[in-house]
Amino acid sequence: MKKTLFTLMSVSLLAAGCCGDDMPQVVLPEIDTTNPLLAQWDTPHQTPPFDKIELAHYKPAFETAIAVSRAEVDAIVKNPAKPTFANTILALEKQGALLNRIGGVFFNLNEADTSDEMQKIAIDIQPQLTALSNDISLNPELFARVKYVYEHPGFCLSKEDKKLLENSYKDFVRSGANLSEEDKALYRQYTGELSSLTLKFGQNSLAATNAFSYNITNPKLVAELPDFVKEGLAMEAKARGEKGWTVTLKAPSYGPFMTYSSQRAIKEKLWKAYNSRALGGEFDNSDNIRRITELRLKIANLLGYECYADYVLDNRMAQNTPTVTAFLEELRVATKEYAEKDYQTIAQYAKEQGLKGELMPWDFGYYSEKYKNEKYAVSDEMVKPYLKLDNVIDAVFMLASRLYGLTFTPAENITVYHQDVTAYEVADKNGEHLAILYLDFFPRESKRSGAWMTEFRGTSVDDGKEVRPLVSLVMNFTKPTETTPSLLTFDELTTFLHEFGHSLHGMLAEGKYESLNGTSVYRDFVELPSQIMENWAYEKQYLDLWAKHYQTGETMPTELVEKIVAAKNYLAAYSNIRQLSFGLTDMAWHTLKEPYTGDVEAFEKASMESTQVVPVVEGTAMATAFGHIFSGGYAAGYYGYKWAEVLAADGFSLFQQKGIFDTATASAFRKLLSSGGKVHPMDLYVEFRGHKPQTQALIDQMGLTK
């Protein structure tokens, strides 16, 4: 669903005269402007009035907005004038603005601050949205107009206009516009069921994550934990009305406990619970996975593809399944033996430390952290005091200022959706308004796990006036305790930089059409801006500017910075193989040519076998909580993380050559960011870097060159 700024006067679309300006006349249904979701937003930068929006407002707002969207489409179809770019393609780009505005609020909050009632609304409204989408994409009269303009574009279209026209036509075709009426009916059936199942998958995953906790009352079992871990677990127990310390499956709780605790029996329970979320039991996703992949296969077959991956990759930078398969295999072959050595190194170390038996997955985090601390004399506990969240925020903003001239000012006059959220006004170096940025850092039961960037609204031009984006970063970082501020792990620092890279892609967008701006790019290209930003976390020149002890104000010692840099490639091959295993199982699910009716756990084991380094544990599977591919947008696309890592490794080498704060290099990269999807990503990359990326760049960066 594209997100464009709503205006009741949808008919006031600008059109180039030579392309036709007989605009559709829209007869709008009655709109209840007492509903804040339907009223004009008289707020700073037309930001959502979160303080006025109640759950009861969503369903009537969605129903009205769906009716408005239908009226807008109907006006395009019934326009007696000859189809033109303006009265058909541009009108389609602008239609649905009200619906997209409401959806931009609802679906983002359903991820970041949901409730049982909100999830019920989502289940109720999703079929209506899917039906509307199908009614648009499968409308033969509407497609006829689009096809006419595609075949008769005229001579006055800009490159940006032509790209919008090309995408519009291709989107219709990929959404079933060329199907027979019989197959269109099947397409509606399949996509309707699929949208409901993917939503249910995500709800089950969240519920399964929240359903498990482990309470510890014996102080001896937590005595060895760093204070920040104990304080966090104690806060969790207190919030639940429990005594002692409580571990949950949320990342800031689960991760540190698995890293710092030697309590093997407890960790085995935690690991098995985490890696069997929604595998059996009340929130089982096994049937959902089988049906989701079957429906995707059916849709792909209807559209003329052998498998769903072929359908997806036809619209990606990689272009086809053989390319992705070869790419993953090239990385697997180049790094597998090093990953096995990584595992054996930790296994041998654990044995020397007194571990009895085989090194199991729940042991790996603890012993790998101890080994890192010995080999590199660096640990999260040593680094965290220098990564106070407030300082990290300033540091990330400072980096954006050094590279792109941006400034970030707290916007206290802008309402937010939760008390933990802070809004910032972002300005360019000339003081011009660029964006509103929302930051939401801490975990809660109403928020799904992980970290992500999203938009309440993207960039566009409406009636000749530029509309700037409303960008949000949502994370699950270590909370402050009663005695300590939020101190980040090094992984949390890199996560922040990663998501901030996505936000730059959105905030620096330039262009007329929201569907071509910001992160509206090929999925295997969208991770480049985020992956490349992570590199600065390892640069001494950058860390020296801001990493100071939260108590003493002492700058991070040079020795510690050097240890962090030296440890950068610690277990790099192991981590790479682990990521490849996710990409391979994703491709296995989505290259199926027949529906899979077997055991989900067995399928996963077979699909990951070539990357298996640690022992396999029966009764576990990550697929049932693999939201990226079963409820997110990464189906047949998880390889894109590694694909983008190659781009980022090669791209950052230019900053290393020219200087990590070099403004000329940053200016060239900003051009790539601001271009969005208007230009093919390979062309953008080659213009920035001067050559096509090579896989060897990533292998070299990991230090694995033979």
Are 142 and 63 within 8 A, CB to CB? Answer: no
Residue count of the chain = 706
Detail the DSSP E strand segments found in 546-665.
none
Exposure pattern of 507-516 as b/e (b: 16+ CB <10 Å)? bbbbbbbbbb
User: Tokens standing for 371?
Assistant: 């080994």
Compute the distance between CA of residue 192 and CA of residue 470 in angstroms, rounded to an integer. Answer: 29
- CA nearest to 328, candidates 581, 504, 155: 581
Exposure pattern of 545-571 as b/e (b: 16+ CB <10 Å)? bbbbebeeeebbeeebbebbbebeebb
User: Tokens standing for 588?
Assistant: 């296995």
Cα separations (Å) of 333 from 328, 346, 611? 9, 21, 10
User: Tokens standing for 258?
Assistant: 């698995």
Compute the distance between CA of residue 515 and CA of residue 529 in angstroms, rounded to an integer. Answer: 18
3-state secondary structure of 465: strand
Q: Which residues is 474 bridged to in the sheet?
A: 440, 452
Alpha helices of 48-179 — where are they, by DSSP H? 55-77, 91-94, 97-112, 116-137, 140-151, 159-174
Detail the DSSP E strand segments found in 397-483.
407-410, 421-427, 433-440, 452-457, 460-462, 465-467, 470-474
- CA nearest to 524, candidates 287, 265, 327: 327
Are 483 and 508 within 8 A, CB to CB? Answer: no
- CA nearest to 629, candidates 202, 301, 189: 202
What are the two backbone dihedrals, phi and then psi, of residue 691, each rounded to the nearest 5 degrees? -160, 165
Sign of CA dihedral 695, 696, 699, 702: negative
- CA nearest to 414, candidates 388, 393, 433, 395: 433
User: Tokens standing for 245?
Assistant: 């310390």
Is 492 known to be catalytic?
Answer: no
What are the two backbone dihedrals, phi and then psi, of residue 454, each rounded to the nearest 5 degrees? -145, 175
Alpha helices of 246-320 — where are they, by DSSP H? 251-260, 264-274, 286-302, 308-313
Cα separations (Å) of 188 from 121, 299, 305, 680? 21, 10, 18, 31
Q: What is the 3-state secondary structure (H, E, C) of 656-669?
A: HHHCCCCHHHHHHH
Q: How do 407-410 and 245-248 pair as beta strands?
A: unpaired
Of the residues 236, 455, 499, 539, which is catalytic?
Answer: 499
Are 190 and 295 within 8 A, CB to CB? Answer: yes
Q: How do 470-474 and 452-457 pair as beta strands?
A: antiparallel
Active site residues: 499
